[in-house]
Chain A
Amino acid sequence: AETVKVGVIGPFSGPFSGSFGEPFRQGVETYVAMNGQPTEDIEVEFIYRDLQAPDPGRARALAQELVARDGVQYLAGFVFTPNAIAAAGISAQAKIPTVIFNASASAVVSQSPYYVRTSNTLPQVSVPTAQNALEKGYRTVVTAVSDYGPGVDAETSFVKAFEAGGGEVLETIRMPLSTTDFGPYLQSIQLQEPDALFVFLPYGPPTYSFVNAYRNNGLDDAGIAFVGTSETQEVDLQSLGEAAIGLETGYFYSAAHESPENEAFKEKLAELFPDAEPNPATVSAFDGTHALYEMIRATEGQPDPDAAIAAISGASWESPRGPITIDAETRDIIQNVYIRVVEQEENGRLVNREIKTYEAQPDYGVQD
């Protein structure tokens, strides 16, 4: 059998390994375990390369080395926008089809004609979240986001959609990434008495501190609703504990999504990785692997980048998250966005219960 190599670049160690690196690997391996090899005589080999944090220089060097030395036909992974953009030069010039598992700035996919994305963009989830806020009758909001690319994208698109729907944004706060004490922000938001608070924070410690501070500073008692996106994602959910119960968020994947595809996926994942949580990043990698398989099958394992990209553009399939499509034009993902509420199950575990669906959401794009 012939071997097709895929280089996967992501944070397999470091502060982002828990929320991205490990889920990437779990998603890939779960897909392979469920589907075997693409065809009988093609074997896929995944080569993992660690890239802990944004570092375009290393990203480019790793991509170059994977292509030139290791002879990979495909690249995949990428959590951070600058890394994805740095590798775009290699992808474009060496014609390497690349599946983005996360990097979420709208501009990423357009950087190389061989880029495909199976995660999401922030406008994609923020716009429906804003619509939902309007539908719930919130008229005034304050937005509080971490001051970095995704945060700014989330804020910009939320504000635009919310104001377009007739809502009023009282204040937009961008909190420095290094913030650890969110109390003061929440206290000053409380003074403005908005109907709701729109939030976007990176996974892990900031989300944990923020959610606790939201509860402990009494914003919920004051009736200021929490409107979030990825804050209750599965990797953090159990550690958030009681503080998370009742929080409402809009995002593209919930582990509690009810479908046979999701059940099968979760079952296999639990079998392979007993400690793993089914996470949005896991599903993005799972679907990304599906995209890779599609391209490999279409080209029969031969290096034919244009045919590969043509094969995946416009493709649709049923993912564990629900139905998804790769936009034929932009090669970006089109997917449902679900409004979920955190509930506690019998066994004490917390889940994101889906309560509403916004179907087939495109990337709404942001220009700032």
Chain B
Amino acid sequence: MTNTQRTLGAAAVIPIVAVALVVIFPNQQAFLAQIAITALLVLSLDLVVGFAGLATLGHAAMYGAGAYAAALYSLHVWAEPLTGLVVGILAGGLVALVSALMLMRAHGLTFLMMTVAITQIIYEIVNKSRAVTGGDDGLYGIMMQPLFGRFEFDFYGRLAFWYAAVVLWLVFLLLRHIAASPFGLTARAVRDDGGRVSSLGGGIFAHRVALYTLSGGIAGLAGALSAQTVQVVGLNTLSVTYSAEILVMLVMGGTGRLWGALLGALVFMMIHHYAAEVDPVRWMLFIGAMLVMIVLFLPKGLFGGLEAAVNRLREGART
């Protein structure tokens, strides 16, 4: 396969899967929209976890910032969706930029706990600003204008899903491009041995800040999509628990590969949803066991496992 073929192939995956999902689950588009938005968020998380090698429990800070910013923008300024997305990106990016200045010298457990601290502080502040944010009751009353002035957001979530899926698709293509670029290659080098990169004259602090801000911007974008399609923003968007949940999705899918983020979000949400539907009381036992199994039997995550399986099939076909 040539490079162009491969790129085209990769580009086709998301649209094909999106159509397939709509065909299989025609009456659950609000749920599918949730999956697309979560996948976008997990994708942005992969930039921090996979590309920068930093485990974080604070990614929701940027997601929540994007969600609240987009919600407030639509309530008080303009209910136009696309500019709302830009507001979300800016809010997420700004929160990331400011916290990166504190965070980007730390790593490991220290980094993890600092992200927790930042997220908790933001959470408390938003909780206390009830007049603006609605506090724990949530921020509600969001009514979006039609997309492009033409397409109405329906309560079935049809538009919501396609809107989220297209954004996800574009961001995915963009990140694939970036991953292969000098910036992306440097990111991997910084992750492997930052000190070595400085000895070559690379500015690792600035690079990490840039990467974190990029990731924060995308997380903010996901937050804005969520605010616009759900029409309510709750404090849960800012919680450490939610950060942990998306981290689990990413690790389950496989880190550092982008595909893993998509697969992790899709599979986790699907299994969670259906396990909880089959047994609303005991599904956690099932999910827990599944995570343990994945660690034991798929050391490179779902995507790694998938890849290995495909390779084995190919080898089998050849011989």
Bind each other: yes
- With both beta carbons as reference points, the residue of chain A lying nearest to B33 in the complex is identified as A61
The interface-forming segment of A80-88, A113-121, A278-286 is A80-88
Contacts of A353 in B (CB 8 A): none
B140 — nearest CB in chain A belongs to which residue?
A: A85
The chain B residue with its CB closest to the CB of A14 is B284
B137 touches A85 (CB 8 A): yes
A314 within 8 A of B: no
Stretch from B13-21, B84-92, B179-187, B226-234 at the A interface: B226-234
**Quick check: which of A51-59, A130-138, A228-236, A303-311 contacts chain B, the rest being far away?**
A51-59
Q: Is B34 an interface residue (CB 8 A)?
A: yes
List B120-160 residues whose CB lies under 8 Å from chain A: 124, 127-128, 130-131, 135-138, 140, 155-157
> Judging by beta carbons under 8 Å apart, are B156 and A64 in contact?
yes
List the B residue with the shortest CB-CB distance to A9.
B280
- Min C-beta distance of A135 to chain B, whole Å: 31
Contact partners of A105 in chain B: CB under 8 A: 137
| Main SS at interface, chain A | helix
A13 in contact with B281 (CB, 8 Å): yes
Selecting from A146-154, A207-215, A357-365, the interface stretch reads: A146-154
Q: Which residues of B contact A147 (CB under 8 A)?
A: 127-128
A347 interface residue (CB < 8 Å to B) = no
Contact B128 A61 (CB under 8 A): no
- Assess whether B27 is in contact with A111, with CB atoms less than 8 Å apart: no
- Min CB gap B281→A, angstroms: 5
In the assembled complex, A205 has its CB within 8 A of some CB on chain B: no
Give the residue name and chain of the B residue nearest to A83 (CB): B234
Whole-angstrom distance between the Cβ of A362 and the nearest chain B Cβ: 20
Q: In the bound complex, how far is the Cα of B143 from the Cα of A111, in angstroms?
A: 13
**A208–B282 CA distance with the chains assembled, in angstroms:** 26
Q: A65 contacts B30, CB within 8 Å?
A: yes
Chain B residues whose C-beta falls within 8 Å of the C-beta of A55 in the assembled complex: 234, 236
Distance from B22 Cβ to chain A, minimum over Cβ atoms (Å): 13
Q: Are the CB atoms of B156 and A149 closer together than 8 Å?
A: no
CB of B284, distance to nearest CB on chain A (Å): 6
| Pairwise interchain contact A49-B235, C-beta atoms closer than 8 A | no
The CA-CA distance from A65 to B32 in the complex, in Å, is: 10
Q: Does B29 count as interface, using CB distance less than 8 angstroms?
A: yes
Partner of A149, one of B137, B157, B233, B276: B137
Q: A57-B34, A148-B135 are in contact. Are A85 and B232 (CB under 8 A)?
A: yes
B162 on the interface (CB 8 Å rule)?
Answer: no
Cβ A50 vs Cβ B276 within 8 A:
yes
Q: Which residue of B lies closest to A81 (CB)?
A: B137
Contact string, A11-38, partner B, CB cutoff 8 A, digits 1/0?
0111001000100000000000000000
A13 touches B284 (CB 8 A): yes
**Is residue B277 contacting chain A, with contact meaning CB distance below 8 A?**
yes
Q: Does B28 contact A (CB under 8 A)?
A: yes
B235's nearest neighbour on chain A, judged by CB, is A54
Interface size on B, residues (CB 8 A): 37
- Does A61 contact B127, Cβ atoms closer than 8 Å? no
- In the docked arrangement, what's the CA distance between A188 and B27, Å? 56
Is A222 interfacial (CB 8 A cutoff)? Answer: no
Contact of A81 among B30, B31, B136, B226 (CB under 8 A): B136
Q: How far, in whole Å, are A203 and B228 apart by their CA atoms in the complex? A: 33
Tell me if A170 counts as interface (CB < 8 A to partner B). no
Residues of A within 8 Å of B157, CB to CB, are: 61, 64
Chain A contributes a number of interface residues (CB within 8 A of B) equal to 39
Chain A nearest Cβ from B39, distance in angstroms: 13
Q: What is the chain B residue whose CB lies nearest that of A48?
A: B280
**A13, B232: Cβ atoms closer than 8 Å:** no
B117 to chain A, nearest CB (A): 13
Contact yes or no, B135 A64, CB < 8 A: no
B283 within 8 A of A: yes
Chain B residues closer than 8 Å to A49, beta-carbon distance = 276-277, 280
B31 and A54 form a contact (CB under 8 A): no
Q: Are A148 and B226 in contact (CB under 8 A)?
A: no
| A65 to B138 Cα, complex, angstroms | 22
Supposing A49-B277, A69-B27, A176-B124 touch, asked if A152 and B155 sit within 8 A by C-beta, the answer is no
Q: Does A60 contact B (CB under 8 A)?
A: yes
Most-contacted residue by chain B among A61, A81, A93, A368 (CB, 10 A)? A61
Whether A61 contacts B31 by the Cβ 8 Å rule is: yes
Q: What per-residue 1/0 map shows which CB atoms of B217-261 lie under 8 Å from chain A? A: 000000000100011111110000100000000000000000000
Say whether, besides A50-B283, A82-B137, A149-B136, A68 and B28 are in contact (CB < 8 Å): yes
Residue contact B156 to A68, C-beta cutoff 8 Å: yes
A94 within 8 A of B: yes
Task: Verify if A90 is at the interface (C-beta below 8 Å from B).
Answer: yes
**How far is B252's CA from A264's CA once the two chains are assembled, in angstroms?**
50
CB distance from A153 to the nearest CB of B (A): 9
Known: A17-B281, A53-B236, A149-B137. A61 touches B30 (CB 8 A): yes
**B140 in contact with A57 (CB, 8 Å):** no
Contact between A82 and B232, CB atoms less than 8 A apart:
yes
Cα-based distance from A368 to B131 in the complex (angstroms): 8
Question: Are B138's CB and A81's CB within 8 A?
Answer: yes
Query: How far, in angstroms, from A222 to B160 measured CA to CA in the complex?
Result: 59
A107 interface contact, C-beta 8 A? yes
A136 to chain B, nearest CB (A): 31
* A186 and B1 alpha carbons, distance in the complex (Å): 71
* Contact call A93/B155, Cβ cutoff below 8 A: yes
Instruction: Kindly state whether residue A241 has any CB partner on chain B within 8 Å.
Output: no
Q: Which 7 A-B pairs have the closest CB atoms?
A: A82-B138, A69-B27, A50-B280, A64-B30, A56-B232, A68-B27, A82-B234
List chain B positions with a Cβ less than 8 A from chain A: 27-31, 33-34, 37, 124, 127-128, 130-131, 135-138, 140, 155-157, 226, 230-236, 241, 276-277, 280-284
A and B contact pairs by CB, cutoff 8 A, 12 listed = A48-B280, A53-B236, A54-B136, A60-B231, A64-B30, A64-B156, A65-B30, A68-B28, A68-B156, A82-B136, A86-B232, A148-B127
- Besides A54-B136, A89-B155, 7 new A-B residue pairs in contact (Cβ under 8 A), listed by A number: A17-B281, A57-B37, A64-B28, A65-B28, A68-B27, A90-B155, A93-B155
